[in-house]
């Protein structure tokens, strides 16, 4: 029997909303979870459509309906976008959330733009809302949105999920405007994090005398005028879907060609956005250390690093790209032979289906960010493996996924010897141990899959309605 809660419309809000397309094998983890939640409840996906304009105020939302989902999008003023997105979101919030304080570049104009765009989002969204809607806001770009909606008189339940780490107070206090951000977060009814350490970091901020709140044993935060629930909702992947995709991808011409090009050598694979939080420089240097410490690895392994560019035109990211090209070239120049190049560095993306086939053929999945909220690549790599002959995940202790995937080989990404030894252990691990570790990891993935993630969060939000 359908309950009254199940009839409530779900409104998802994110920085960016893609134009609705036919379902394809290329859909990633977050989109899968959001779309499944919307299909179950019916509702609206609201956000920026990717278009920039010279108008100071966005026009009315453009609404496209597909099935029981409405995609409502707005354009943004180009200066506002620069301040809000490239400015405060990615030059202040992104580095502080990843504990990389030296990368913070604060400008009061960017902070003003961040607040201005969130106010615009609230104004445009408010016109679409119905009294029984429940609202689920995603990520650090939109921290102030609930406070803006409350100021506009919106009383609907509003939840917030943070997809990046949350910093402890000693880091968070370095952000100009952190008091405003903390008060804005307290306008939500439910706040979700990937890990218990992120929740603990958030609670360390709440305990400061900024919002005058108290925390009870069930992570309910009580403050003058109301309360909110803060809890852990680890995001997952579509385990069975990835497994099927990887089996099918093994027969793709592109994947077979890649396997043949290895010449029987073991493949180590890394897949990351080109970002300083991903630890790519440290990873390349750790791979170099592997070749130094384990000479038998030379000519017998190939590292394929896929790193599509992100935030092109931002100086910091252009510098990362140049540095990686330089260090990979140096390592290849040092160790290459006439028939072997140790690092294949691809500064571009690979479509999802062939990527799953590449994962399935990789002896080692190398996931070594220097800080990450979760890292779904780690989970996708595990789900894509052949259970009868699985590869081994080498995982940074500083990724959120390390809290769940304890059967991986856990390493410190700042310790080159530790990472090199971890890769060597993975390459030499006996088949039975590989199978046991993989089975345990897949069991965890199934428990915390993408359906469990979105169901637990939406249920928590429904309880506040």
Catalytic residue among 41, 141, 163, 194: 163
231 is catalytic: no
H/E run at residue 359: helix 352-360
First to last CA, the chain: 19
Catalytic residue among 189, 238, 372, 421: 372
Q: What are phi and psi of 64, to 5 degrees?
A: -120, 125
CA nearest neighbour of 32 among 209, 225, 169, 237: 237
How many residues would you count in the chain? 465
CA nearest neighbour of 123 among 61, 188, 81, 184: 61
Cβ atoms within 10 Å, residue 147: 22
Q: Please list, in sequence order, all residues whose beta carbon lies within 8 angstroms of the beta carbon of residue 82, skipping any fewer than 6 positions away.
A: 113
Cβ atoms within 10 Å, residue 360: 24
Number of H helices, E strands in the chain: 17, 16
Query: Taken in order 117, 123, 128, 129, is the CA torsion positive or negative?
Result: positive
b/e per residue 152-173 (b: at least 16 CB within 10 A) = eebebbbbbbbbbbbbbbebbb
Q: Please list, in sequence order, all residues whose beta carbon lies within 8 angstroms of the beta carbon of residue 196, skipping any fewer than 6 positions away.
A: 232, 403
> Helix or strand or coil: residue 243?
helix
79 is catalytic: no
Distance between CA atoms of residues 385 and 435, nearest Å? 10
**Residue numbers annotated as active site:** 163, 372
């Amino acid at each position: 029997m359908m309950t009254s809660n199940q009839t409530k419309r779900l409104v998802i809000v994110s920085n960016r909303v893609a134009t609705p397309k036919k379902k394809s094998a290329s859909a990633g983890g977050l989109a899968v979870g959001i779309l499944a939640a919307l299909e179950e409840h019916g509702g609206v996906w609201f956000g920026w459509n990717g278009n920039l304009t010279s108008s100071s105020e966005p026009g009315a939302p453009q609404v496209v309906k597909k099935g029981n989902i409405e995609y409502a999008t707005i354009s943004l003023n180009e200066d506002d976008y620069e301040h809000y997105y490239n400015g405060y979101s990615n030059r202040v919030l992104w580095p502080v959330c990843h504990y990389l304080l030296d990368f913070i570049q604060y400008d009061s104009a960017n902070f003003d733009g961040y607040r201005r765009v969130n106010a615009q989002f609230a104004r445009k969204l408010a016109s679409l809302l119905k009294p029984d809607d429940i609202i689920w806001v995603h990520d650090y770009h939109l921290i102030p949105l609930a406070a803006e909606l409350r100021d506009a008189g919106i009383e609907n339940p509003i939840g917030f999920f943070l997809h990046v780490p949350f910093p402890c107070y000693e880091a968070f206090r370095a952000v100009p405007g952190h008091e405003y951000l903390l008060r804005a977060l307290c306008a939500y009814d439910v706040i979700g994090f990937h890990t218990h350490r992120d929740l603990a970091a958030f609670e360390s901020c709440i305990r400061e005398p900024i919002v005058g709140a108290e925390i009870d044993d069930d992570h309910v935060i009580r403050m003058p005028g109301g309360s909110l629930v803060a809890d852990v909702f680890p995001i997952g992947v579509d385990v069975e879907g990835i497994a099927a995709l990887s089996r099918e991808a093994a027969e793709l011409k592109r994947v077979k060609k890649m396997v043949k090009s290895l010449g029987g050598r073991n493949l180590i694979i890394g897949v990351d956005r080109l970002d300083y939080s991903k630890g790519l420089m440290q990873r390349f240097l750790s791979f170099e250390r592997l070749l130094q410490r384990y000479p038998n690895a030379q000519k017998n392994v190939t590292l394929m690093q896929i790193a599509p560019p992100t935030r092109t035109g931002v100086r910091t990211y252009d510098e990362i790209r140049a540095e990686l090209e330089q260090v990979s070239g140096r390592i290849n120049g040092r160790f290459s032979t006439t028939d072997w190049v140790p690092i294949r560095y691809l500064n571009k993306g690979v479509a999802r289906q062939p990527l799953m086939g590449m994962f399935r053929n990789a002896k080692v999945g190398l996931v070594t960010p220097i800080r990450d909220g979760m890292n779904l690549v780690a989970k996708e790599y595990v789900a894509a493996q052949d259970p009868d002959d699985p590869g081994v995940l080498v995982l940074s202790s500083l990724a959120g996924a390390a809290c769940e995937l304890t059967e991986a080989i856990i390493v410190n990404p700042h310790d080159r010897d530790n990472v090199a030894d971890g890769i060597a252990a993975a390459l030499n691990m006996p088949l039975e141990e590989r199978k046991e570790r993989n089975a345990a990891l897949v069991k965890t993935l199934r428990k915390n899959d993408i359906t469990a993630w979105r169901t637990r969060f939406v249920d928590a939000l429904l309880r506040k309605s």
